[in-house]
Amino acid sequence: MEAITRITSLRELLACCPEYWESGRQAMTDDVVAAAEGLLDGGADEVVVLDNHGSGHPENVIVDQLPDRVRAESWNVFDLPAHGVDGMLQVGYHPRAEQDGFAPHTYIPGLRLWVGDEEISESHGRIWAARTRLLGISGHARHEQTLGSLAGVPYLVVQDGTDRARADAMLPRDEARSRLRAFARETMRSANDAVAPVPPHDVLMRARVRAATETQAATMAAGGWAQHADEEFSVELATWPAAREPIAAAMAAAFEPFSDITRMDLGSPAALDALDPARREALAGRFARSL
């Protein structure tokens, strides 16, 4: 969601902020619909939408607006091979942790991951888990510049800027939708030439959890991580599917500073209005400071 075409503010990403409901959620839905329509134009039989954004509201995409032959599922990305998915198009991908660009992070603010010698992004982890062709990516310019082993994948830059709290949206709504639809259509038409990135195996995965507490370290240990320093952890992986539990544990550990969000009703604008404004603003500020 962070690198959706018309999103410019951190507040549009968080269900604890009015801006999420006023503009952010609709902007994400617009991009998803445009991309899905493009895939169908290009010959896809069906499009499955996996909503991976963790805003505090479980359904960032407005499913009532999805076109025919497009449906939303809550599958874990590691389960995609069992569903016979033929390809993945990644929409709205942001810079990885510690980059100069809008809302940089890897899964959860405060978490960094390396596989072998490469620091990875969410693009890496998800396509390796899916074990399918990566048709293309849309997102922030800085993400394209730091793709590493995924460099060369078709990429549509829809967002730019070096500010972590504010993005430069490059296109108005209609042009953005048209360009994203055309991009998706062309990636689908070229699907036979698309590469399925080879998942790593027999490799050391390392993690850094910023200012890890004893509770966070215990969560990491339960997920198979060995701790080497205050913020440093590692785990040996024979195959990438074996990364499923360690990554889940690392995400849970990094999420601890934001655990308030699980105790808030963020299911609608009306629910938001009923919450203490000071508490909502404190959570939004915490997110901004964590990047």
Band (261; pLDDT cuts 50, 70, 90): confident
- Report yes or no: 32 and 71 within 8 Å, Cβ to Cβ: no
Q: Which among 283, 198, 212 has a CA at the least distance from the CA of 250?
A: 212
Q: Which among 33, 18, 19, 21 has a CA at the least distance from the CA of 92?
A: 33
pTM: 0.96
Structural domain contains residue 54: yes
Band (213; pLDDT cuts 50, 70, 90): very high
Q: Does the structure show a pLDDT above 90 at 275?
A: no
Band (67; pLDDT cuts 50, 70, 90): very high
Contacts (Cβ under 8 Å, ≥6 apart) of 227: 217, 220, 221, 233
> What is the domain extent for residue 80?
10-103+133-193
Q: Does the structure show a pLDDT above 90 at 109?
A: yes
Structural domain contains residue 275: no
Structural domain contains residue 30: yes
Structural domain contains residue 226: no
- Report yes or no: 217 and 157 within 8 Å, Cβ to Cβ: no
Band (169; pLDDT cuts 50, 70, 90): confident
Band (249; pLDDT cuts 50, 70, 90): very high
Question: Which segment of 63-67, 156-160, 199-203, 265-269 scores lowest on mean pLDDT?
Answer: 265-269
Between CA 29 and CA 123 the distance in angstroms is: 20
Q: Does the structure show a pLDDT above 90 at 220?
A: yes
Contacts (Cβ under 8 Å, ≥6 apart) of 165: 9, 10, 102, 103, 288, 291
Structural domain contains residue 233: no
Structural domain contains residue 92: yes
> Can you give the CATH number for the domain in which 27 is found?
3.40.50.10780
Q: Does the structure show a pLDDT above 90 at 78?
A: yes
β-strands 87-93, 133-140 pairing: parallel
Mean pLDDT of the 47-73 span: 95
Per-residue model confidence (pLDDT) at position 187: 98
Structural domain contains residue 127: no
Per-residue model confidence (pLDDT) at position 260: 82
Band (212; pLDDT cuts 50, 70, 90): very high
- Report yes or no: 48 and 155 within 8 Å, Cβ to Cβ: no
Per-residue model confidence (pLDDT) at position 206: 98
DSSP 207: E
Structural domain contains residue 252: no
Task: Report how many domains make up the chain.
Answer: 1
